[in-house]
Amino acid sequence: MESSELVSLQPRSFWHQLEDIILGCFFILMIGLPIFDIISRVFKVYLIPDSLVLVQYLTLVIMMLGGAIAAREKKLLTLSSSSWLIPERFKSIVHIFTSAFAGAITLYLALASYQLVAINASVGGDHVCGIAAWIIEAILPIGFFLIFFRLIFHSASSWKSRFGTLILSACLFSGSALIHHPPSFLIILGFGLLLISILLGAPIFIALGGAALLLIWNSSVPIDSIPAETSQMVVSPTIPTIPLFTLTGYLLAEGGASKRLLRVFQSLFGSFRGGSAIVTALACAFFTALTGGSGVTILALGGLLMPILLAEKYSERDSLGLLTSAGSLGMLFPPSLPVILYGIVSHTPINQLFLGGLIPGVLLLILTMWWGIHKGSKLEVQRHTFQWSETFAAINDAKFELFLPFLIFIFLFVIKTTLVESAALTALYTFLIELLIYRNLKFNQHLFRVIAECGILVGGVLLILGVSLGFTNYMVAARIPNHLVHWVQSSIHSTWLFLIILNILLIIVGSLLEIFAAIVVVVPLLVPLGAAFHINPVHLGIIFLANMELGFLAPPLGLNLFLSSYRFKKPMSEVYQSVLPMYIILHIMVLLITFVPFLTLALPHWIR
């Protein structure tokens, strides 16, 4: 039976298995309710009138349970860690400090969440399917407390050291709580400690939540405003698409879709000169679009594609460069998670973003294939004979997965279901074909483990998105975007010059920040700047996402560079050299996307 590299949870205790099963039940309910709503609409019998609102609240539950499982597995999303700079004898002490500081911030978020739930419980408030909303919101303090205790548990290997971490974290928490009007030097010290903690490996949500808490510390704003904004954002109508489409990608990966899709592309293009490069580009783009992350693509497909490229006599450097570069192809295609998240944060129609990214995404794909074909044309290697029988057999074997992108398009633009309903139908379709047709996914053995691994990514992303709103709202209240727009307009008078500077800054941001963090931090500042220079919101979104895609390859900190070095066991210097030609080529394409708006805006204009 095929097995995926994605599902890598450690052996679990009974309680951990129970936690995974509970998360799985919420995912199943999230899939079922939108489909039930579609059926009710067809037959005009509305048995659960608030079902879609309940789906939105389920996203809040999945966020906190997924975040707690991520903390359990030590997989909360972090920035690139610089812990390798620390001498070995100091690492345990540094890790205890980092965990204690992160724990204190998490404890504050738990306290703030408890205050929010207590206030909502006292005033009554909304009901969802007969359940008081505050009962569902109680998952916020529960989840943060679970994350807190797991951060403390993983801070050291001995109970004595863990107890020390707990005491230090409690002192940081209680000490700051006693100071109501801190002097400026304490605020600066807090930000300094926060920066050090993040550089040493603290989770990204700690950075954003901690920054929000430090800013609120010196104001009259109550701390429960952070979980209030988190709850409001996560319970928005489009957020449920994130866990649903992400689950689709994980189900495909666990079901062995990568091998079937690879066989299709090999049968179609393997007989061409440079055919393995075409196969690599297409397989990576298809897989990245469905799984939502280039890291998943490199880890899942790298071991399959590298031997194919080497067998066709591509040099090891060219093979490494092609795989590293192709790892982020497909980010602009539906149902890519970064596109959905950008649309949510920027309030840009997500279907328009997918249409806008289609032509640029195809051009990026073609350029990658062209480079591979160009390199392959110089190689003297015996070609495989094209066989119609193998092609038909491969397509027939993978036909249900190949149909998936068209199915999503039909849901969205022909049947005109909502984005959440389309995501639920897609997840159900994927689950059924992997379980009943391909039978590589076993309900009892794999399903809840796949959901748990999916929950880790979803929880990590949504935690970042949720707590960042406290930081973002403070910037809005302080009129920072307005001041930035005024400064830029007074300093830059040419739209073209603005776009050139924007591209440079975004590539730097893409190489330094994890993409989800970049979206929630940078986009609220970027959108008013785009409006000030009269840049179409869809065009601005594709410029941003294309630069983030390029940022994955930007030396020295691009994520794909690290993943490729890890996956193929190559030194970073060799990875840098291998991606340079493709980096230059794709850079030219990103500039073309930026300065030829027709490429982005043609399809949104034609298809409304």
Annotate 203-233 with DSSP letters as a single string: BHHHHHHHHHHHHHHTSS--TTHHHHHHHHH
The answer on pLDDT for 138 being more than 90 is yes
Which of 18-32, 55-69, 132-146, 303-317 is least confident? Answer: 303-317
The answer on pLDDT for 194 being more than 50 is yes
Cα separation, 461 vs 292, in Å, equals 12
Question: pLDDT at position 1, please?
Answer: 33
Which of 26-40, 155-169, 217-231 is least confident? Answer: 217-231
Question: pLDDT at position 31, please?
Answer: 92
E strand or H helix at 552, and its extent?
Answer: none
Cα separation, 393 vs 367, in Å, equals 29
Under a CB-based contact definition with an 8 Å cutoff, are residues 470 and 213 in contact?
yes
The answer on pLDDT for 440 being more than 70 is yes
C-beta neighbour count of 598 within 10 angstroms: 9
Cα separation, 159 vs 557, in Å, equals 36
At 326, list the tokens: 């192709």
- 335 upstream amide cis, omega within 30 of 0: yes
Question: pLDDT at position 37, please?
Answer: 85
Cα separation, 597 vs 591, in Å, equals 11
Q: Which residues contact 268 (CB under 8 A, 6 or more apart)?
A: 391, 394
* Interval 559-582 mean pLDDT: 77
Question: pLDDT at position 2, please?
Answer: 40
- 182 upstream amide cis, omega within 30 of 0: no
4 band by pLDDT with thresholds 50, 70 and 90? very low
Question: pLDDT at position 358, please?
Answer: 92
3 band by pLDDT with thresholds 50, 70 and 90? very low
Give the alpha-carbon dihedral of 282, 288, 294, 296, to 10 degrees: -110
- 556 upstream amide cis, omega within 30 of 0: yes
Shortest CA distance to 519 belongs to which of 315, 288, 242, 330?
242
Cα separation, 26 vs 23, in Å, equals 5
Under a CB-based contact definition with an 8 Å cutoff, are residues 52 and 424 in contact?
no
The answer on pLDDT for 548 being more than 80 is yes
Location of structure tokens 């408890």: 114
Q: Is 379 helix (H, G, I), strand (E, B) or coil?
A: coil
93 to each of 87, 160, 200, how far by Cα in Å? Answer: 11, 13, 12
Of the two residues 354 and 220, the one the predictor is more confident about is: 354
Residues 363-396 have pLDDT tens digits of 988 988 888 888 776 665 556 677 888 889 989 9
Cα separation, 556 vs 271, in Å, equals 36
Question: pLDDT at position 429, please?
Answer: 93
For residue 132, list its beta bridge partners: 127
* Interval 335-345 mean pLDDT: 85
132 phi, psi to nearest 5 deg:
-60, 130
C-beta neighbour count of 517 within 10 angstroms: 22
Cα separation, 418 vs 425, in Å, equals 11
Q: What is the 3-state secondary structure (H, E, C) of 484-522?
A: HHHHHHHHCCCHHHHHHHHHHHHHHHHHHCCHHHHHHHH
Which of 324-338, 385-399, 467-481 is least confident? Answer: 467-481
The answer on pLDDT for 568 being more than 90 is no
At 104, list the tokens: 């204190």
DSSP string, 529-546: HHHHTT--HHHHHHHHHH
pTM of structure? 0.76
421 phi, psi to nearest 5 deg:
-65, -40
490 band by pLDDT with thresholds 50, 70 and 90? confident
Q: Is 74 helix (H, G, I), strand (E, B) or coil?
A: coil
Under a CB-based contact definition with an 8 Å cutoff, are residues 255 and 434 in contact?
yes
* Interval 126-146 mean pLDDT: 89
Q: Which residues contact 153 (CB under 8 A, 6 or more apart)?
A: 162
* Residue-range domain boundaries for the chain: 50-234, 241-606
404 band by pLDDT with thresholds 50, 70 and 90? confident
Under a CB-based contact definition with an 8 Å cutoff, are residues 345 and 571 in contact?
no
The answer on pLDDT for 323 being more than 70 is yes
At 284, list the tokens: 């990576």
277 band by pLDDT with thresholds 50, 70 and 90? confident
127 phi, psi to nearest 5 deg:
-125, 145
The answer on pLDDT for 105 being more than 90 is yes
Residue type, 508: I
Residues 150-192 have pLDDT tens digits of 999 998 889 999 999 999 999 988 888 777 778 888 888 888 8
Under a CB-based contact definition with an 8 Å cutoff, are residues 72 and 16 in contact?
yes
Q: Is 414 helix (H, G, I), strand (E, B) or coil?
A: helix
Give the alpha-carbon dihedral of 148, 149, 152, 153, to 10 degrees: -140
Per DSSP, 78 falls in state B
Return the top range by mean pLDDT from 5-19, 242-256, 562-576. Answer: 242-256
291 band by pLDDT with thresholds 50, 70 and 90? low
* Interval 121-137 mean pLDDT: 84
Pairing of strands 127-128, 131-132: antiparallel
C-beta neighbour count of 305 within 10 angstroms: 25
Q: Is residue 316 exposed (0-12), middle (13-18) or buried (19+ Cβ within 10 Å)?
A: middle
The per-residue b/e assignment along 487-513, b for 16 or more CB within 10 angstroms, e otherwise, is ebeeebeeeeebbeebbeebbebbbbb
At 570, list the tokens: 């190559």
Cα separation, 306 vs 246, in Å, equals 26
Cα separation, 245 vs 229, in Å, equals 24
Under a CB-based contact definition with an 8 Å cutoff, are residues 57 and 136 in contact?
yes
Of the two residues 548 and 538, the one the predictor is more confident about is: 538
Of the two residues 361 and 408, the one the predictor is more confident about is: 361
Residue type, 175: G
